[in-house]
Amino acid sequence: MDNNDDDIYGGDYVDGTYGSDVDDDDDDDDDMIAEVASMAVVGTTLVLTTVMEGEGLFIERALYENNYQTDRTFVNILMNSDVHCHNLLRMNTECFGRLVDIFKSSGLLTGTIHCTVEEQLAIFLHTISHNQQNRCMVVYCKRSGETISRYFNKVLRAILKLVDRFIKPSSSNTPRQIRENDRWYPYFKDCIGAIDGTHIPAKVPADIKLCFIGRKGSPTQNVLAACDFDLKFTFVLAGWEGTVSDSRMLGDTLSNDARIICHPGKFYLADAGFPLLENFITPFRKTKYHLSETRGRAPQTTKQLFNHRHSSAGNMIERAFGVLKKRFPILTT
């Protein structure tokens, strides 16, 4: 082969190969082997350094979080501080302790090795007191969502069984607030309380949702309740659709012989949404009734005077509803 061929391939032709190409390939292989070897050395050095600096040959596992001890600490914080207990459960430690004793003595709630009665009740009260979501309670109590839901419903069913123990009929005696008020006594000496309805937001199936949408534009249930002058509820009827009127609920209650007690000669104060009955005294129609309509102006007629005093005395049921919803915000959303 002539010299021109050597120039074309860029090297000298020796023994059937070109010398320059052989040298280049060997150099590339050597460089690659050196690079890989250096990386292996560096990596091995780092691993060995990490192992030597540690306490052993294995990476230490994260500490296990003892949920049982965490929950106990949460309950202890509540029981040892009136401020924390009131802020989280809306009652002081003495009240909470008495409530726990009631559930224990009645057998309605029993503790387990993993969850005491105190914690079960705290889960329920904290949820309704602050309208907490299940996911938030998981963080507070270090429990799973299923556990939170299970104990919430367990306490709810137990509380419903205490209705007759705490919601008692009014006494037939003249209330102290009436006797000591010259504006009310002796005109309302036979009054034992007030009755009214309030709307509580409800979540219902889609096929019956329309029946629960009242004047507020959202699904609600109308709850009929009565209370005495100490703001203690003496009768509660829940579950009626938001479109149902107060008068219809009262009529159905009286016809079905419900728990509302009407002592002979005694009466409840009711607003204009109720019918005038023997045991339910309503204000005069077509006459100013609400306190805001007569504030700063003296009544001009006997009917206005009666309505004014009727409104001031019967306002206790609205106050009771206000206190209840303020203490348990879950009733407002």
What pLDDT is attached to residue 217? 85
With the C-alpha atoms ordered 98, 100, 103, 107, is the resulting torsion angle positive or negative?
A: negative
102 exposed, middle or buried (CB, 10 Å; 0-12, 13-18, 19+)? Answer: middle
Bridge partners of 240, per DSSP, are: 222
Beta strand residue intervals within 149-232, DSSP E: 191-201, 220-227
- Locate all alpha helices (DSSP H) within the chain, ordered by sequence: 3-9, 19-53, 67-79, 82-89, 93-106, 117-130, 134-141, 145-160, 163-166, 176-179, 209-212, 246-255, 291-294, 302-314, 316-327
Task: Kindly list the domain boundaries of the chain, sorted by start residue.
Answer: 3-53, 67-165, 169-332
Q: Residues of 62-74 as b/e, b for ≥16 C-beta within 10 angstroms?
A: eeeeeeeeebeeb
pLDDT digit string, tens, across residues 43-81: 444 444 444 444 444 445 444 344 444 555 667 777 788
What pLDDT is attached to residue 197? 94
CA distance 18 to 5: 11
Bridge partners of 269, per DSSP, are: 194, 281
Phi, psi angles (nearest 5°) of residue 305: -65, -45
CA distance 144 to 137: 9
Residue numbers in the chain where pLDDT is lower than 70: 1-74, 257-258, 289-297
What pLDDT is attached to residue 55? 47
pLDDT digit string, tens, across residues 229-278: 999 999 999 889 999 999 999 988 888 766 788 888 999 999 988 999 98
